[in-house]
A and B are shown apart, each in its own frame.
Chain A
Amino acid sequence: MLGYTITQWLFGILSFLAIMFALMVVFTRNPVNSVLYLVLTFFCIAGHYLLLNAQFLAVVHIVVYAGAIMVLFLFIIMLMNLNADTEPRKHIATRLIAGTIGGMLLFVMVGALKGSEQLQLVHGGSSQIGLVKNLGKVLFSEFLFPFEIASILLLAALVGAIMIGKRDTNINSKETN
């Protein structure tokens, strides 16, 4: 089809959708719609992982980001009852400055990634590297230390969140049944 393979077509369509939904996240005024567009963006990115033969990463991406984190975002936004009316309209100067700074960031990132297609792959390996078995083996042998460090980081964040979220112990002891 027009000189492209099916994979290239899928890549193009998924990229287009991902960028479009990501833009919609920013442009919609309603916070709930923003979150839902972000979920769609995550699905597109999961599609990219599938194209890279990383099935485990794709499904875990959906379980963790779309299925848990975004649900909590939605949960908070619904509880606070945010909608388009409560969204404050920023001053025109603020918007111009924010737009300029964002554009410059984009410029820097495009510049930084320019020429990355010429880099040599270090861990090119086989196309099966993304399967659960291979991923688990690599994760628990070669990259065990960073993996454990990441889990300790998460644990610290968890304990911190509990400490902040903890209420007065007197109220808590009354509520136990």
Chain B
Amino acid sequence: MTAFIIYKAIMCVGIFVLLLASAAYATLWERKFAAFLQDRKGPSRAGWGGLLQPLADGVKMFMKEEIIPNVSNRALFILGPSLFMVTAVITSAVVPWAKPVIIGGQTYDLQITDINIGVIYLLGVASIGVYGIMIGGWSSNNKFALLGAVRASSQMISYEIPMGIALIALIISSGGSLSLKTIVEGQDAGLANIVWQPLGFLIFFICALAETNRAPFDLPECETELVGGYHTEYSSMKLGLYLFAEYINMFISSAVIATLYFGGYNFPFAHEIYAKLGLAEGSAMVSLIGFGVLLAKIFGFICLFMWIRWTLPRFRYDQLMNLGWKTLLPLSLFNLAATVVVEYFRGNIHF
């Protein structure tokens, strides 16, 4: 029992540190990437080639004066960013990070918890994530913040529906399990789910962009119309939490996409390569390689997120709603129907 608690505690702390560190360096990478696309250098003064820039940003955020508007609801004003950060972090609980490692005859899953409703858990956390934005935007007592909050909530509810239907199609074609661990292990033996779910992946990816409030769906914080959007009144580290949570959301969305559609920690010819290197299944080295592969996939998706942000202009709000309800929803329903037909002929569904 004590060993179990220590192992889970190590997992939780390790993944928390991983999330914070990767989100911090994602901010730097975002600026470097934007600079690359716009043919300039980006932050280069702090540290070696700008490597200490996230540290400098963090110190700046903490040292800034903290202003809480007099007329705002103080408790909710503080609750908003905290809740947003918490919901961003707890999504990571069901992501399997690497192959189970066997130490001293004991198998350790490199995943915080493997619940058999993992996929619905992800949807649930995504759906309560909007409270952080809504509470923050409303309690600021500012018209622009309120508009940003209202936009965020309607956008997130609209895009949750095609996301959920895309996930149903994925679950049908990956064997009917809602546990992320089982979904990843199914892709170890067979092909990655993207092969059977290309349209589903596209829908899921677009919805993930909308759920994380990233461009071209960043209307809740649209600075040309709404000053700063839902975080207009926020300053200091509370603003920092909102901005930081966006990067954590992006990191975890990438991890979830990689896990669901691209095989997670698996890669092509993994078993042949492990055999050639003389590594036994379950050894620490195999887990480490798998973890590295997963991180590489996540990094690739983060680059895709950033590429889209710095290439595409922002949608107009009615275009956003039309895309969600009139394009993505029928498309996801079509994908679901097509998946059922395909899986019937593959012999995975029995009537």
Contacts from A to B (Cβ < 8 Å): 30, 32, 36, 39, 55-56, 59-60, 62-63, 66-68, 71-72, 74-75, 78-79, 81, 131-132, 175, 177
The answer to whether A55 touches B115 (Cβ under 8 A) is yes
A59-B121, A78-B134 as given contacts; A68 in contact with B150, CB under 8 Å: no
Q: Are B124 and A62 in contact (CB under 8 A)?
A: yes
Query: Is the Cβ of A75 less than 8 Å from the Cβ of B127?
Result: no
Binds A, one of B23-31, B152-160, B202-210: B152-160
Q: Is the CB of A78 within 8 A of B115?
A: no
Is residue B146 contacting chain A, with contact meaning CB distance below 8 A? Answer: yes
| Any A CB within 8 A of the CB of B178 | yes
Q: Which of A32, A66, A72, A132 has the most CB of B within 10 A?
A: A132
Q: Confirm or deny: B131 has a beta carbon within 8 angstroms of a beta carbon on chain A.
A: yes
Pair B138/A78 contact, Cβ less than 8 Å: yes
Q: Are B146 and A78 in contact (CB under 8 A)?
A: yes
Of all A-B residue pairs in the complex, the 3 with the closest CB atoms, nearest first, are: A67-B127, A63-B124, A59-B120
In the complex, the answer to whether B120 meets A56 with C-beta atoms within 8 Å is yes
Tell me the smallest distance from the CB of A56 to a CB of chain B, in Å: 6
* B120 CB contact (under 8 Å) in A60, A66, A175, A177: A60
Contact present for B138 and A32 (CB under 8 Å):
yes
B65 located at the interface, meaning its Cβ lies under 8 Å from any Cβ of chain A in the complex = no
Please give the residue numbers on chain B whose beta carbons come within 8 Å of chain A beta carbons, in ascending order. 73, 76, 115-117, 120-121, 123-124, 126-128, 130-131, 134-135, 137-138, 146, 149-150, 153-154, 156-157, 160, 178, 318-319
Minimum CB–CB distance for B343 against chain A, Å? 16
Q: Which residues of B contact A66 (CB under 8 A)?
A: 127-128
Contacting pair B318 A175 (CB below 8 A): yes
* B79 to A, closest residue via Cβ: A36
Contact (A71, B116) CB under 8 Å given A62-B124, A66-B127:
no
A30→B319 CA distance, assembly (Å): 34
Closest to B121 in A: A59
Chain B neighbourhood of A63, CB < 8 A: 120, 123-124, 127
Query: How distant is B100 from chain A, measured CB to nearest CB, in Å?
Result: 22
Report yes or no: B117 in contact with A59, Cβ–Cβ below 8 A: yes
Kindly report which residue of chain B lies nearest to residue A75, judged by CB atoms.
Answer: B153
Most buried by B among A39, A56, A67: A67
Contact B138 A59 (CB under 8 A): no
Given A56-B117, A67-B160, A71-B153, 5 other A-B contacts at CB below 8 A? Answer: A55-B115, A67-B128, A71-B156, A72-B153, A177-B319
Kindly state the separation between the CA atoms of A38 and B87 in the bound complex, as whole angstroms: 19
A75 touches B128 (CB 8 A): no
Taking A56-B117, A59-B120, A60-B120 as contacts, is the C-beta distance between A132 and B178 under 8 angstroms?
Answer: yes
Q: Which of B123, B124, B131 contacts A39 (CB 8 A)?
A: B131
Chain B proximity of A31: nearest CB distance (Å): 11
B161 nearest CB neighbor, chain A only = A68
